[in-house]
Structures are given as C-alpha cells and as structure tokens.
Structure 1
Amino acid sequence: MSISDPNSIKNILSTEEKSNIALQFITALKTRDWDLMRSIITEDCTWTLPGTSVISGEAIGADAVIKRAQRLRDFGVMVQLNHILIGLYGVTLSLHNTAVRGDLQLDQYVAIVCELEDHKISKLATHLHNVDGINVFFVEGII
C-alpha cells in the first residue's frame, strides 16, 4: 500500500475552505438562511439520518435537504457546534443538539459527515449517540 502526497491530489480544498463551508452550513441552520444553505449544497445533495422518526431516512436533492433542516428548526432544535473535524475530502461537524417540547427533552450528540465536491456539500450523513431519543422526540403531527 502506498500513501500519496496530499499535495499531489487534485481538487482537495484547503483546511480553511473546508472550515468555511462547515461554518456556513451551521450558520444557515441556526439563522434559517435557506438561500445560504442552498448556495453551499449541490442540487443532488443527499442527507441520511438513522432511525424511524419523521426526520429519519434519506433526503435526496437540495429541496429535500433544506426541508429536513427546516423541520429540525420547526421542532425547536438548538444546535451547538462543538468541533469541526477536517478530513482529506470532507469535513465532520461535532454537534450537541437540544430541544424541549412538553415533557419531551432532546439531548443528542451528533456527528454530521459532509462530503465535499466542487466547493459544495454533496452528501451529509448524520450519526447519533441515541437513535431511540430522536424516534421519540420527532413524531408526526406534533408541529
């Protein structure tokens, strides 16, 4: 097995560029700036999220990805960015998401792995520490 020189691989974004895209995604989510979000995702972007809740599954396409982000906010989810983790081809967001609705409380540690393509997010994959927690919190007919 050989390890190539990272500087010789074409189309790799700089650490600063990757961080900037990650920060724009979080900013768009927190401020509900859906135009900003659309500007940093590809038209065929996908977002997977585990579980059986109303926000779980695969969102396919920019409209579906933005709809998922809107639903998260509609449920009152507060997003705290803990860390931006930089990979060779992408970035991972380490988050702590919280929300309260009636007697239900969401307290979820989240990692969103973002694959980047042409300076935009092409795929998002959410990993959760408590899948059952989102299945209980995000249910149909609540909002």
Structure 2
Amino acid sequence: MSTNNADATDAERFLAAFQARDWEGLRGLLADDITWTMPGSGTISGTIHGTDAVVRRAQHIAGQGLHTELLHVLVGAHGAALSLRNTAIAPDGRRLDEHLATVLTTRHGRITAIDSYLSDVDGMSAFFTAP
C-alpha cells in the first residue's frame, strides 16, 4: 500500500476555521508564502499572495452571508480538495448558488496554495462585485 498521500485533516481544519469565522485559526494553517487563485472578474478574483491577503479574502467572502455545504473531501499526493456548494443572497437580491472545488496544496503541514474551481464563474463574479 502506498503512503504517498496527504490526509484530509488540513482540509477539514481549513473549512472548520472558515465556517467558524476563526481567522486566527485559519492563519495558523497557512504557509507565509501562500497563494490563492480565483477565476472571474469579481472583487474576489485573481491571485493573491500571503497570509494576510488570504485571511482578508476569506473574511470578505464570509461577510457576504455565504452558506458553505461540504459535499466531499478528496485526497491527493500533495494536498486535498474540498467539494463544496456555496449559496447566499445579497441584501439587493443577487443570488449565489455554485458548486466549487477548493484545492489545497500542502507542505510540511501548512497550506501553500489554494486554487478555486467554480461551476458558475460569471455568477460568482456578478455576486462579488463592488456595490
């Protein structure tokens, strides 16, 4: 049996910290040189660098009233992916309903990269726009 696998622990801790809005707990999971890439043209799109930027993005996303449902945790050789469904309704009536994969690359017990893959890039971009 191969042991060339990450485990689901870091991914589960990442999601738990996000859902609990435990920003210091989230920060403790991240490598200093972390990057997070998000497709689209919304306020959360693009590639960001560093723990402060990642925590700010997570806070911004959470601040929009996002409900995150865990569908699956998938484990690979260098990290794990969270299969999620995000839903939210903005005060002005805009709706978000998307499936996504949040892929976490890990090294030495720290998350070094987050790559987000979305089912509805245009919908996310429209939801996360400057008012």
User: What TM-score do you get using the length of structure 1 for normalisation?
Assistant: 0.86
Corresponding residue SS for 2:18: helix
Corresponding residue of 2:18:
29
Corresponding residue of 2:84:
95
Alpha-carbon distance in 2 for matches of 1:60, 1:78:
25
Size of the alignment, in residue pairs? 130
Matches within 5 A, 1:5-84: 6-7=2-3, 13=6, 18-84=7-73
Is 1:135 the counterpart of 2:125? The answer is yes
How far off is 1:6 after superposition? 3.6
Alpha-carbon distance in 1 for matches of 2:28, 2:125:
30
Once the two structures are superposed, residues 42-98 of structure 1 have per-residue CA deviations (whole angstroms, 9 ceiling, x without a partner) of 011110000000000011000001111000011111111110000011100000000
1:107 alignment partner AA:
D
How far off is 1:107 after superposition? 0.2
How far off is 1:27 after superposition? 0.8
Larger proportion of helix: 1
Give the 4+ runs in structure 1 shifted more than 6 A: none
* Structure 1 stretches lacking a partner, 5+ long: none
Q: Among all aligned residue pairs of Structure 1 and Structure 2, give the percentage whose two residues are the same amino acid.
A: 35
How far off is 1:103 after superposition? 1.9
* Structure 2 stretches lacking a partner, 5+ long: none
Bigger relative contact order (CA 8 A; separation at least 6): 2
Corresponding residue of 1:108:
98
- Name which of 98, 108, 121 aligns with 1:118: 108
